[in-house]
Amino acid sequence: MKRTLSLLLTVLFTLSPVSFVLADGPDGPPDTSFTDIHSSDWFYADVVTAYNAGLINGKSADRFAPDDLLTYAEAVKLAACMRQLHDEGEITLGNGSAVWYETYVTYCKSLGIITADYPWNQAATRAGYMEIFSAALPDTDLTPVNEIPDGAIPDLYGLSAGTTAAIYKLYRAGIVQGTGDDHACAPYSSIQRCEVAAILVRMMASEKRIRFTMSAPEHRIETIGGITYVDGILIANKTYSLPADYAPGGLLPECQAALDALMAGAAADGLSIYPISTYRSYDYQAGLYESYAARDGYAEADRYSARPGHSEHQTGLAIDVNSLAYDFAYTPEGIWLAAHCAEYGFILRYPEGGEAATGYRYEPWHIRYLGVELAGKVTASGLTLEEYLGITSVYRD
């Protein structure tokens, strides 16, 4: 494995072709005069390992440039060379004549390592290079060594299921560990030369992989005055109810302001979005629920109407707009609301397909105020609020 790693690094980083034995790590001061890497740097050992083998060059005699970024073209070259070395024991791929990276792109596509084009000359995001690297070696060479449950990586927002799976694969295989105590991935950040050195070492030498464990996120559920907050977010659903005397009497001011802004935003796009139901008191909800139950029966009423104390409308943070008809979703206003409400701090609280999690049928007209930051995260996650917060929405009886 060491021979193959040094071969790979030779191809990738040397200015002159030389054979090397890869050192295990820094046995002493590195034979470099780089002034921009230090023994306290997390990547120091990896850079020294590669450098001592003569494989990673500095940008100048005294500058390694650990922070310089990797492009997608460079990432796909690394992936292609890793794979060819793995499969064939040598690297015969070389730069293309017209476009230097075309041979690597073609090779990776032929093996299914990549299936689409990337913005080749742009800096690769961490999500992007992980997507490429996770497929660079067969799964049998990326066996899981770390216990990392789904949902444990804290900041994978707005990524496709495939990209998310790729990131988990590399975490579980010990190739990457994220940053900070919570092992955040920073998927939209760029990847640096120092990280590339470390990742290559771990990809090709299994003894270099990092062992660590993560646990599923724990959510803080507090009850204050009979009101339930999950991670500080007021929740009213089938599991968590509000006391009868929780009665803000109308929309909370920040929600009202956000609704006003949303309506103005829609108007600027030539659309009319307006509230048809906002705050509902405990007693009003009781009457509403009983009337639905009398018409449709309790079981059916429970699918679309909340029992008193369980309605989100009692929070002063929820609004029904325009029309309580499913067709609303297909109107210009319904389409605009789904696309833009998060920009104003709202989510579609009961999304299509979410009934098992939220306890309610799809309601394209019902929005819940969460603030711009959280609404953006929840929307981008593709999860219902219950799933995002790890809570249920089920009546006890």
Binding site for Zn ion (CB under 5 A): 320, 366
CB of 274 to Zn ion, least distance (A): 14
Q: Is 363 a catalytic residue?
A: yes
Structure tokens at 38: 């230090």
We find the least distance from the C-beta atom of residue 188 to Zn ion, in angstroms, to be 33
Identity of the residue, 66 or 354, whose beta carbon is nearer to Zn ion in the bound complex:
354
Q: Which is nearer to Zn ion, 153 or 301 (CB)?
A: 301
User: Which residues are paired to 69 by β-bridges?
Assistant: 192
Q: Which is nearer to Zn ion, 185 or 234 (CB)?
A: 234
Rounded CA separation 71/53 (Å): 24
H or E element at residue 224:
strand 221-224
> Among candidates 305, 310, 296, which has minimal Cα distance to 237?
310
> What's the min distance (Å) between Cβ of 128 and Zn ion?
39
Sign of CA dihedral 133, 137, 138, 141: negative
Please give the C-alpha separations between residue 154 and each of 30, 99, 377, in angstroms, as whole numbers.
36, 38, 11
- Cα 151 versus chain centre, distance: 9
Q: How far is the CB of 275 from Zn ion (least distance, A)?
A: 10
Residue (of 251, 247, 260) closest to 278 by Cα position = 251
Whichever of 209 and 280 has its CB closer to Zn ion, that residue is 280
Write the DSSP string, 158-212: S--HHHHHHHHHHHHTTS---BTTTTB--TTSB-BHHHHHHHHHHHH-GGGPPP-
Q: Which is nearer to Zn ion, 76 or 306 (CB)?
A: 306
From the candidates 147, 363, 373, 387, give the one annotated as an active-site residue. 363
Q: How far is the CB of 394 from Zn ion (least distance, A)?
A: 19
* Sequential DSSP letters for 123-156: BPBHHHHHHHHHTTS-GGGS---S---TT-STT-
| Residue with the shortest CB distance to Zn ion | 366
Residues designated as active site: 363
